[in-house]
Chain A
Amino acid sequence: EIVLTQSLGTLSLSPGERATLSCRASQSVSSNYLAWYQQKPGQAPRLLIYGASSRATGIPDRFSGSGSGTDFTLTISRLEPEDFAVYYCQQYGSSPYTFGQGTKVEIK
């Protein structure tokens, strides 16, 4: 089983700042099948990025994904008020399709 580690539990930033979230895999993620999700309280997760770097439909271009192999990054170029939420990475290259434990981006 691939273990995904999101090293930051909480990231405290101000609106307009840049957010950089990391996700490290215990072994290489097949075909860079790595997704990022955003979740707000009481809501289902929302797909932001798939294939490590492709934005899902309707996702603003301030969200970008990068990385390959075992190290992946989600960058939010300029935080908007609605971006304060919890972010999860998920690998879907090999079963079980594991999630990271999440990083909360909170208002500083």
Chain B
Amino acid sequence: QVQLVQSGAEVKKPGASMKVSCKASGYTFSDYQMHWVRQAPGQGLEWMGRINPKSGGTIYAQKFQGRVTLTRDTSVNTAYMELSRLTSDDTAVYYCVKEGVDGHWGQGTLVTVSS
């Protein structure tokens, strides 16, 4: 069965960077694009971008351009999302989402940005 297992919760200082991993199993990793979505506490969902695991090609939401980097390592079926220059507004749960009609999401990673 498809599983997306994300790395654990993190606490970061303002100005720092964060990197969340998403390990995929149960399907051919390279065949489906991986999206990243975040949700601030008590707020709605926000799409950040997506990566094509086969080519490495990326598309980012304009809001995050220059701050977000999506990468992947096909040898370990893992996608990564790195976000730099963190502020308190980046405190959120970050999700990886496998593209497709089966709708698989990771369990979410809470990142707290606090001094």
Contact = CB atoms under 8 A, between A and B. Distances in A.
Interface of A: 1, 37, 39, 44-47, 50-51, 54, 56-57, 88, 90, 95-102
Interface of B: 35, 37, 44-47, 50, 59, 61-63, 95, 101-103, 105-108
10 contacts: A37-B45, A39-B45, A44-B107, A45-B95, A47-B101, A56-B102, A56-B103, A90-B45, A96-B62, A100-B44
Question: Chain A: interface secondary structure?
Answer: loop
A6 to B, nearest CB: 9
Contacts of A100: 44
Given A1-B62, A44-B107, A44-B108, A99 B45 contact: yes
Contacts, number: 50
Contact of B47 (A47, A51, A56, A97): A97
A47 B102 CA distance: 8
B52 to A, nearest CB: 13
Contacts of A54: 101
Contact of A44 (B35, B50, B101, B105): B105
Nearest to B4: A44
* A96, A101, A102: residue with the most chain B Cβ atoms closer than 10 Å: A96
* B62, B95, B101, B102: residue with the most chain A Cβ atoms closer than 10 Å: B101
A47 B44 CA distance: 15
B54 to A, nearest CB: 18
